[in-house]
Amino acid sequence: MKWTDSRIIAIELCEAHPDIDPKAIRFTDLFNWVVALPDFNDDPKHCGEKILEAIQMAWIDEAE
């Protein structure tokens, strides 16, 4: 997975952290959870706030 795979990342996060409310997460936690995903293989330096926002929004959609 790459940073641009926000929907896939959101699905993986939803499965990995089912008790987390994605509306109440900090970007530092979100970043750490994404890079810890087993299939994630992108450069952590390529991440920015807009990417994390996109992942968070996709996760909110998946959680609902």
Q: Is residue 58 part of a domain?
A: yes
Q: Give the chain's domain count.
A: 1
Q: Is residue 56 part of a domain?
A: yes
| pLDDT confidence of residue 64 | 86
Q: Which residues contact 58 (CB under 8 A, 6 or more apart)?
A: 6, 7, 9, 10
DSSP annotation string for 8-61? HHHHHHHHH-TT--GGG--HHHHHHHHHHSTT--S-GGG--HHHHHHHHHHHHH
Domain containing residue 38: CATH number:
1.10.10.600
| pLDDT confidence of residue 56 | 98
* Under-70 pLDDT residues of the chain: none
d(CA 3, CA 9): 8
Q: Is residue 1 part of a domain?
A: no
